[in-house]
Amino acid sequence: MLSAFLQMGKNLKTVSPFRFSSFLRLEEDPVLALRLFQNPNPSSPKPFRHSALSYDLIISKLARAKLFPDMEQILLQMKQQRHRFVPKESLFCHVISSYGRSRMPGPALHTFDQIPSFGSLRTIRSLNSLLSALLACREFEKIREFYLDLDQYAVPDACTYNILINACCLNKSLCDAWNMFDEMRRRGIQPNVITFGTLISALCANSMLDEAFRLKEDMIRVFHVKPNVFIYTSLIKGLCQMNELDLAFKLKDEMLSDETVALDSAVYSTLISGLFKVGRKGEIVGILEEMRGNGCKPNTVSYNALIAGFCGEKEFDSAFAVLDVMREEGCKPDVFSYNVIIAGLCKEARLRDACDLFEDMPRRGCFPDVVSYRTLFDGLCNGKEFKEAAQTLDEMLFKGHKPRAVSVQKFVEGLCKEGIVELLGSVLNSLMKGNAIDIDTWKMVIGIVCHKSELLKTCAVVDSLRMA
């Protein structure tokens, strides 16, 4: 798209802001879009006057790509054009949300504070964007500060209270969540399905099923709000956790009787996990058949529930068979699929099989993540396969992943107790290079070596580190 635009620029003396915006919209590469924006009309000596739409487009593209320094430069440039146009509040909402997704609460707050300086008005929409960004960053105290001065910024709406209720639930303050719900009603703000879904999910997560079902009845009878699939899934999951499978199936049947609620794979995946948990795996075939009959094709989450269930039953051949079925049906296993099997194999001390699957993951089109490395490393350490554990540790650190501190201590302690000095020196050196060793581990090494009075081994470790 950039080359086409440059070619057009050779044939035309000038490009209109409207046509330029069209080219900018079509350019998918944010870096090329930025180059296009910075040099819109190279054949003309006159400065190009970007439209409000052009600024909106480039800032949105850079925000999505997390190119925040470049985005901030364009924002500053746009600010100098406030005598020509006033940016829409929605643009700042997009920027704030992008910072929230990137776990950058400071810049999100700064953007919100700067909105008036662009000549734009701050309404409840930008406040809600900020509260949502702060929630993504788990900035509960900052959210509370805004709540205490809520009316200073805007008149809150249902979205505002949904975010506040969710923050209370995530902060394990169910009492505060209920207070928010009551305050919402006192203000005359009608709760919606998201409000009830958030509260019911939190109640189920805290094993307060009686309260969750009462709230479900109230939302229908008092507030005339119908449950959605998320609410049903939360209730079914809560019932399965309490081993109330019969009630869970009744609730699933209630969903089937409501034509406005479509069952999804999450419901069936939850039921599959529940059946494994209570030893009723013989019913799973029927669940899968019903699932397909209702037009709900099994997906990765569904198959992962099967894999986890079979691994829990130590039926690894069945778990591997699920991987084969997934490939045959065009459903690609994800890293969780493999991690569950690797964890199960390690737990049963089938370390060779775990290593083989781990090494085979790239060939299968799925690369190990930090959980894969940590799981295999811990399994090898528990099995006292120190040489293989050291190789896995080196690869893990090379990939930029870090082992758990407790795993490092356990591994180093094992090397010290076994007196494997040469490998210990190499491991300590790797941990130092990867910045993955803490002072407690060093104290443990020195303490164990000195306690045994193995001066030669101490010197050997030091020499090994010096040579590395």
pLDDT tens per residue, range 60-111: 999 999 999 999 999 999 999 888 899 999 999 999 999 999 999 999 999 9
3-state secondary structure of 403: coil
pLDDT at 326 over 70: yes
Read off φ and ψ for residue 390, nearest 5 degrees: -65, -40
Residue 353, Cα to own-chain centre: how many angstroms? Answer: 30
The reported pLDDT for the residue numbered 238 is: 95
The reported pLDDT for the residue numbered 467 is: 46
Task: Let me know: does 100 contact 62? Beta carbons within 8 Å.
Answer: no
Distances (CA, A) of 312 to 208, 309, 374, 377: 27, 5, 19, 20
Domain ranges of the chain: 369-468
The reported pLDDT for the residue numbered 199 is: 97
pLDDT at 370 over 90: yes
Please state, as a whole number, how many other Cβ atoms lie within 10 Å of the Cβ of residue 311. 22
Q: What residue type is 190 in one-letter code?
A: Q
Q: What is the DSSP letter of 86?
A: -
Instruction: Name the residue among 182, 179, 145, 177 with its Cα closest to residue 163.
Output: 177
pLDDT at 12 over 50: no
The reported pLDDT for the residue numbered 11 is: 45
Highest mean pLDDT pick, 182-186, 278-282, 463-467: 182-186
Q: What residue type is 376 in one-letter code?
A: L
- Residue 330 and residue 460: Cα distance in Å, rounded? 54
% of the chain at pLDDT higher than 90: 63
Looking only at Cα atoms, what is the longest distance across the chain?
85
Instruction: Look at 265 and 108; give whichever has higher pLDDT.
Output: 108
DSSP 4-21: HHHHHHHH-S---HHHHH
- Residue 405 and residue 413: Cα distance in Å, rounded? 12
| Secondary structure of 104-145 in HEC code, one letter for each residue | CHHHHHHHHHHHHHHCCCCCHHHHHHHHHHHHHCCCHHHHHH
pLDDT at 9 over 80: no
Mean per-residue pLDDT for 1-7? 50
- Residue 327 and residue 151: Cα distance in Å, rounded? 55
pLDDT at 18 over 90: no
Per-residue tokens: 420: 């494997």
Per-residue tokens: 15: 């490009």
The reported pLDDT for the residue numbered 43 is: 66
Distances (CA, A) of 114 to 110, 126, 144, 287, 340: 6, 11, 21, 54, 47
- Residue 202 and residue 205: Cα distance in Å, rounded? 5
Cα pseudo-dihedral 320, 322, 328, 329, rounded to 10 = -160
Per-residue tokens: 68: 């925040």
pLDDT at 468 over 60: no
